[in-house]
Structure 1
């Protein structure tokens, strides 16, 4: 199954997550099909904390990719901010 989830990056105590499309059997930080955005939980001030390529997200959902619970929450937050 294809899933849209977070892949951790960044340094120790400074997490940074890429929002990736991957096969569910791959490791969390392993091989992925496409990077469609990022999430920076320690963003401060005017820094952007979440960016998601909405066109690619709709495409992957259209072909059957499932969102992880955390990514679903981030997508909802991003949509709420956009309105």
Structure 2
């Protein structure tokens, strides 16, 4: 199954995440199919950016967002 989930990067005590499309059997920081956005929970201001057209495409072909990504998408109005 293909999932849309967070991939961690950044430094110690300063996490940041990429929103990626990835096979659910791969490890969190493993190879990805496509990177579609970023999320920085510590940053002030714009914390979340996503390529909306690509997110809608992947959802339309059956990719399932993780719970956290689903909550982020709801702030941008990208729910099913």
Fold agreement, TM-score > 0.5: yes
Separation (CA, whole Å) in 2 of partners of 1:43 and 1:36? 19
Separation (CA, whole Å) in 1 of partners of 2:58 and 2:67? 16
Partner of residue 37, structure 2: 37
Query: How many residue pairs were aligned?
Result: 78
Instruction: Spell out structure 1 runs of 4+ moving beyond 4 A.
Output: none
Residues 24-74 of structure 1: CA deviation (Å, up to 9, x unaligned): 000001100000000000012x4x200011100010011100010000000
Q: Secondary structure of 1:55's match?
A: helix
Q: Secondary structure of 1:25's match?
A: coil
Per-residue deviation, 1:15: 0.5
Q: Secondary structure of 2:41's match?
A: coil
Partner of residue 62, structure 1: 60
Per-residue deviation, 1:77: 1.6
**Superposition RMSD in Å:** 1.3
Partner of residue 17, structure 1: 17
Scaled by the length of structure 2, what TM-score is found? Answer: 0.92
Scaled by the length of structure 1, what TM-score is found? Answer: 0.89
| Consecutive unaligned residues in structure 1, runs of 5 or more | none
Q: Which has the larger radius of gyration?
A: 1
| Consecutive unaligned residues in structure 2, runs of 5 or more | none
